Structures are given as structure tokens and as C-alpha cells.
Amino acid sequence: MDIPYIVKPRPDTGVFNAKLGIWLFLASEVMLFGALFSSYVLLRLGSPDWPRGSSILNVPLGTFNTIVLITSSITMVMAWASLMLKNFSKFKLYQGLTILLGAVFLVVKAFEYGAKFEHHMFPKTSVYFAIYFTLTGLHAFHVICGMVVNGYLWGPGSKMWKTQPERFTNRVEVSGLFWHFVDLVWIFLFPVLYLL
């Protein structure tokens, strides 16, 4: 007996298996980042002198990175749409752009971290920096993981387009959902850490 609903959705739920799986995973990720955000709230409320984000972090760079991630989100969904339209070369283009934009994000982040380290600002310097580095570090880790998966689907994984195009399209959709989530987390991280 084969496992059903790997490619075609189950009629009553309307989804194929991996899509349900990734949404469940994202629900757990909401709890993970939610716990860190809640920790941020508790630590900040208990602190007599919490600095304003804009006085410590580089707002223009943060804004730029926000735009980069949002753009990568649309290129990601366009990559999937291209596959739906059977346009494999367009998929390669958009998927490649998504990965590239992810790399840009990380480069900017690395630059920001480097600048902080140069000024002797480390996680141990204060609770503000501890939560800043942890939140953005965990987020960056998710960006890296997303890039690895997207890279695999762009490269060696794309062979599946020839043999099982629908299943490959599903894989791109599912990894796209993860990528959008990474963007979503940043949409909250940016104002909380950089502006408030």
C-alpha cells in the first residue's frame, strides 16, 4: 500500500501531506519565536534603563534588510507560480533571485554584527544585546537553513522536475511557505528591535 496524498490533496482537508506538515512546523516556530519575544517583553519591563533600539542599531540598514526580505518573498512566490505555469527557466530565475536576496540579507547582518563586535558590544555586554543577538541570530540561522533548502531545490533537487513535476512544484511551494515565515518573523523583529 502506497502512502496517499503525497502529490494530490486529500479532498476533505484540501491539502497534500507536506503542506499540512510545514504548517504544523510553522506553528511550532511561532511558539519558538513567540517565547523569545515574550522573554524580550519581560526583560524589558523589568529593566530600569532599556535603550531605544534606534539609538543602538542602524535603522537605515535594518530598513534596507526589511525591503530585501520582502522582495525575496515575492520572488519566492513567483518561483512557485512559474512552475505552476510550467515555466522552468523562469522558476530558476526567481528561485535564484530569492537565494541571492537571502545572501544579501546575511551580508548586511554580518556587517552589522561586525560593527558591534568592533565596538566591544557582545551578547554578554547587556541584556539588550543578549536578546538582540539571540533573536537576530536565531532568525539568521533560519535564513541560512531556508537558503540551503532553496539552493538544493534550485540545484540538484530540480532534477525531479523532469520525472515528477507536480511533486517538485509541491516541494517548492512548501519550502516557499517556510521562506515566507522567515520574512514574517523579520517583519515583527525589525520594529521591535530597531525602532522601539
Partner 1 sequence: MTSEHDQEHHGEHEHHSFEELNKHIQKHVRIYISVFAALMVLTIVTVAVSYLHLSMGQAVALALFIAVIKGSLVACFFMHLISEKKAIYLILIIAAVFIVGLFFGSILFHSDIVKN
Partner 2 sequence: MAAHPNTHHDHHELPFWRKYIFSTDHKIIGLQYGITASFFLFFGFCLMMLMRWQLAYPGQPLPIIGQYFGDANMPGGIMLPEFYNSLGAMHGTIMVFLAIVPMVFGAFGNYVTPLQIGAPDMCFPKLNAISYWCYFAGGIIMLTSFWVPGGAANSGWTSYSPLANIATTGQTWWLIGMVFLITSSLLGAINFIATIVQLRAKGMTWFRMPFFVWAQLVTAFLLLLAFPPLEAAAVMQLMDRLAHTSFFLPSGLVVGGEVMEVSGGGSPILWQHLFWFLGHPEVYVLILPAFGIVTEIIANNTRKPITGYKSLVFSVLTIGFLSFIVWAHHMYLTGMGTRVSAFFQTTTILISIPSVIILTALFISLWGGSIRFNTPMLFALGFLPMFGIGGLTGLPLAFNATDIPLHDTYYIIGHFHYIVAPGTIFAIFAGIYYWFPKITGKMMNETLGKIHFWLSIVFMNGIFMPMFIQGMAGVSRRWYDGGSSYDIAQGVLYLNPIMSISAWLLALSQIPFLINLFWSIWGGKKASDNPWDATTLEWTATPTPPPHGNFKTPPVVYHNPYDYSMPGAKKDFTPQNQPVEA
Instruction: List interacting residues with partner 2 (CB under 8 A).
Output: 1-7, 10, 13, 15, 17-18, 20-21, 24-25, 27-29, 31-32, 34-36, 38-39, 42-43, 46-47, 122-127, 130-131, 134, 138, 163-164, 167
Exposed e or buried b per residue across 180-190, where buried means at least 16 C-beta atoms within 10 angstroms of its C-beta: bbbbbbbeebb
Contact 109, 140 (CB under 8 A): yes
Residue number, 37 or 117, with CB nearest to partner 1: 37
Residue pair 193/58 in contact (Cβ under 8 Å)? The answer is: no
In the bound state with partner 2, the residue whose beta carbon lies nearer, of 21 and 114, is 21
Show the cell assigned to 42.
519581560
Q: For residue 193, which of 38, 57, 61, 47 has the smallest C-alpha distance?
A: 57
| Chain contacts with partner 1 (rule: CB under 8 A) | 8-9, 12-15, 19-20, 23-24, 27, 30-31, 34-35, 37-38, 41-42, 45-46, 54, 59, 63, 66-67, 70-71, 73-74, 76-78, 81, 84-86, 166, 176-177, 180-181, 183-184, 187-188, 190-192, 195-196
Cell numbers describing residue 190? 525589525
